[in-house]
Amino acid sequence: MNSPISGSAAEGAYDRLHPKIRRWIRDQGWDELREIQARAIGTILDGTGDVVIAAATAAGKTEAAFLPILTLIAERKGGGFSAVYVSPLKALINDQFRRLDELCEAMEIPVVKWHGDASQAEKKKAIAKPSGIVLITPESIEAMLTRRPGDAARLFGAADFIVVDELHAFLQGPRGLHVASLLKRLDAMAQKPARRVGLSATIGDLNQAMAWLRPTAPQTVDLLLAKADAPELRLQIRGYVEPPDLDDPDHAEGSGQDVQAPRRIALDAICDHLFPTLRGTNNLVFGGSRRTVESAADRLRRRCEKAGVPNEFYPHHGSLSKTFREDLEIRLKDGSLPTTAVCTSTLELGVDIGSVKSVAQIGAPRSLSSLRQRLGRTGRRRGTPSILRVYVREPYVDVKSSILDQLRSNTIRSVAVVRLLLAGFVEPAAPSPETVSTLIHQVLSVIAERGGIRAKPLFDLLCGPGPFDSIEPADFAQLLRHLGSPEVRMLEQAPDGVLMLGSEGEKIVQSRDFFAVFESSEEWRLTAAGRTLGALPISFPVHKDSLVVFAGQRWIVLDVDEGGKVLSVAPHPGGMVPRFEPSSGEPAHDRLLAEMRAVYLDNDVPEYLDKAAQELLAEGRDTFRALDLDRRSVIQEERDLHLFVWRSSQTTAVFGAALGMAGLECGIHDLGVTVPKTTSAEMLPILEKLGSMSALDPMDVAAFVKNVRAGKFQDFVPETLAQKQWALQNGQFVGTATAIAKTLR
């Protein structure tokens, strides 16, 4: 049989694969290897170092990594896993298992799924005879190290490769710090450190990815970038204005939440457009919050009922039970019934749901990396376009309204985001404020793993180049002393200096929720006729006869089990949409604010705006000009003073903290800060003083920052260490804040 692979480079790559892999490729009916796959085969077979493979979704990254890896490990038998694949999602492990299992079976290489829902028997088998490939979550690696330290080295210590999937998901946040630390610890127990292969779709700064993958030698990481061949993009931005005096833009249609006479809110009009536009095809609607998702899904279901047609709109978010979510994912992938999922960010990455016809977004986006990921769900078949509809909600305004509302910043932001999307911009990863909290977790974990360890080898194992590089020996000593203090009792020190777990540390490590480095909140479990619907935040006020909209249906609470934290419900026509826990918003990048300013200054009216959005854009620009915001940045509005900063959320927050030092409490928004009950006459000398401080010490600003501590173990982080870390991560923004103060006028 002739080689099915065309192109000389690809042909060469194909010929170098293991004969059984070549047969499998022919059996798949593939007529060519993708370019990224051919290049990965060359790099992995010829090289000895680490590799980052960055390519669009559905470009065949998994095969790009595993075809050459399997070729190299084909002849290895037993003696530990040959390759460790780390994934942030169980669902992704299940998908990859289906893709790898058949190929590996042909090669007689075992593959084992290793996560909380995976078969105990399979895991036991692998512990007895570890071999081949393991597909595992970070938390399961953590559990292995702390609960079976004797087995860990035998299982992982001989691996030739560690593959990290969805690498971009680990470039920031506590879980990224956690996995990076686990990689170091796996290296420390290995006879020879494994080669690392990172797989990713959207990465804003590739240097960050290389540094994350091999902190000791980022420049040695081979980088394989797939040429982007993005499908044609069709897009529309639609504008909607809320009615006057609205207190809840997500309330349930025709419910008691609508206290005054029922009236139409923006969400009603948005769903009036979504219903006929999306019906009959598969789509994703991103709602932004679980509350908006429930409210919109409920409206769309009612429109189906009214039209006398079967419902095809279903909610999907993290509080819904697994069964609901999986049923919907299967229905989307299967494709025999038209289906639209109204979701939060749950369907943004990972799980295989096939290609959808269009993506809709309720509310103006703020993050390019997330919008890109969402768009990647459409236009996956050759020749079909990506379709994106953005539904922008703006408040009602009249002469008494705040200028912040009159500036129509949501509409402006939508236009700016589209411009940056077309320009190919993606935000880099932001620093993670959970550093010390995650270090505490790893300190406890290493002590549990080894039974006890002295401070110096503990520091050498965890710190230095890598996730905790910013922790100096003196910081580490301070942290250990604090953890060992009589008030904390996380650690104890034996007379010979060996650190061991204290009574509190023992309790924490033994608990079932030790393995994850992120927090989880307490919730009510919601059941109907014995079936679990999902979970509601414990803060949601409930009592018998409460009405609730959940899982796309309306319910009445029959019974409240305080002890078991269970709510029993039954279908009911009324219902309130529950409020979930609020937290801080998605951060905006400097470049987005610069682009928003450019949109205000320009005169072009993009043709992708509907008539209402065009009017909102014009209103925003008129207000911008009337206030002369091109030249002015300090605007008095009655007793409030607005300072227009035009910088990232992080810079604006630091600027706000610097004002806090001067005794001014202020509110922070996209465009800048608002200081209540202050005049520009009072403000100008303060700004002048701030601007003249050439060396404002970030440590001094840190003292005025609320929530300087973050993460699961934030209560155990010494305040001064938290402030020092904040100053390290925000020092550059403090400098920017003084520079901003100089320019405001």
Q: Which is nearer to DNA, 365 or 698 (CB)?
A: 365
665 near DNA, rule: CB under 7 A: no
104, 143, 508, 596: which one binds DNA (CB under 7 A): 143
Q: How far apart are CA 324 and CA 334, in angstroms?
A: 15
482 near DNA, rule: CB under 7 A: no
346 near DNA, rule: CB under 7 A: yes
Find, among 140, 138, 62, the residue nearest to 104 by Cα.
62
Q: How far is the CB of 189 from DNA (least distance, A)?
A: 17
Distances (CA, A) of 504 to 443, 512, 708: 13, 15, 24
Q: Which of the residues 5 through 44 are near DNA (CB under 7 A)?
A: none
Q: For DNA, how many residues bind (rule: CB under 7 A)?
A: 47
Fill in the amino acid letter for 112.
V
Fill in the amino acid letter for 696.
L
Find, among 182, 87, 197, the residue nearest to 136 by Cα.
87
34, 147, 154, 572: which one binds DNA (CB under 7 A): 147
585 near DNA, rule: CB under 7 A: yes
12, 338, 587, 731: which one binds DNA (CB under 7 A): 587
Q: How far is the CB of 346 from DNA (least distance, A)?
A: 4
Find, among 298, 320, 255, the residue nearest to 526 by Cα.
320
Residue 110 near residue 82 (C-beta atoms within 8 A): no
Q: How far is the CB of 501 from DNA (least distance, A)?
A: 16
Q: Which is nearer to DNA, 17 or 179 (CB)?
A: 179
Residue 549 near residue 566 (C-beta atoms within 8 A): no
User: Binding segment for DNA among 52-60, 88-96, 459-467, 470-478 (CB under 7 A)?
Assistant: 88-96
583 near DNA, rule: CB under 7 A: yes
Q: Which of the residues 149 through 178 are near DNA (CB under 7 A)?
A: 175
Residue 138 near residue 164 (C-beta atoms within 8 A): no
Q: Which is nearer to DNA, 291 or 299 (CB)?
A: 291
459, 580, 608, 644: which one binds DNA (CB under 7 A): 580
Q: Which of the residues 110 through 129 are near DNA (CB under 7 A)?
A: 115-117, 120
User: Binding segment for DNA among 54-62, 132-140, 628-636, 698-706 (CB under 7 A)?
Assistant: 132-140
Q: Which is nearer to DNA, 123 or 724 (CB)?
A: 123
516 near DNA, rule: CB under 7 A: yes
Distances (CA, A) of 290 to 297, 306, 319, 334, 401: 10, 24, 8, 25, 29
Q: Which is nearer to DNA, 107 or 673 (CB)?
A: 673
Q: How far is the CB of 232 from DNA (least distance, A)?
A: 28
Taking residues 315 to 334 in sequence order and writing x for each that binds DNA by CB under 7 A, - otherwise, the string is --xxx---------------
345 near DNA, rule: CB under 7 A: yes
597 near DNA, rule: CB under 7 A: no
Q: How far is the CB of 296 from DNA (least distance, A)?
A: 12
Q: How far is the CB of 669 from DNA (least distance, A)?
A: 4
Q: What is the DSSP string of 113-154?
A: EESTTS-HHHHHHHHHS--SEEEE-HHHHHHHHHH-HHHHHH
Q: How far is the CB of 175 from DNA (least distance, A)?
A: 5
38, 41, 74, 91: which one binds DNA (CB under 7 A): 91
Q: How far is the CB of 147 from DNA (least distance, A)?
A: 3
513, 561, 688, 719: which one binds DNA (CB under 7 A): 513
Q: How far is the CB of 413 from DNA (least distance, A)?
A: 9
Query: Is residue 214 helix, strand or coil?
Result: coil
Q: How far apart are CA 431 and CA 171, in angstroms?
A: 9
Residue 128 in tokens: 């007895």
User: Binding segment for DNA among 13-21, 374-382, 458-466, 517-525 (CB under 7 A)?
Assistant: 517-525
Burial class (CB in 10 A: 0-12, 13-18, 19+), 97: middle
CA 585 to chain centre: 12
- Which residues, in sequence order, are CB contacts of 52 under 8 Å at separation 6+? 167, 197, 198, 200, 206, 209, 210, 213, 221, 222, 223, 224
Query: Is residue 362 helix, strand or coil?
Result: strand
Distances (CA, A) of 406 to 4, 243, 265, 619: 61, 15, 19, 7
Taking residues 264 to 293 in sequence order and writing x for each that binds DNA by CB under 7 A, - otherwise, the string is ------------------------xxxx--
Q: How far is the CB of 577 from DNA (least distance, A)?
A: 11
Distances (CA, A) of 456 to 151, 177, 477: 25, 21, 9
Structure-token match 């910013």, residue found: 470
Residue 297 in tokens: 């899904």
User: Binding segment for DNA among 45-53, 67-75, 313-321, 481-489 (CB under 7 A)?
Assistant: 313-321
Q: How far apart are CA 533 and CA 307, in angstroms?
A: 26
Residues that bind DNA (CB under 7 A): 88-91, 115-117, 120, 137, 139-140, 143, 147-148, 175, 288-291, 317-319, 344-346, 366-367, 512-513, 515-516, 518-520, 580-588, 649, 668-670
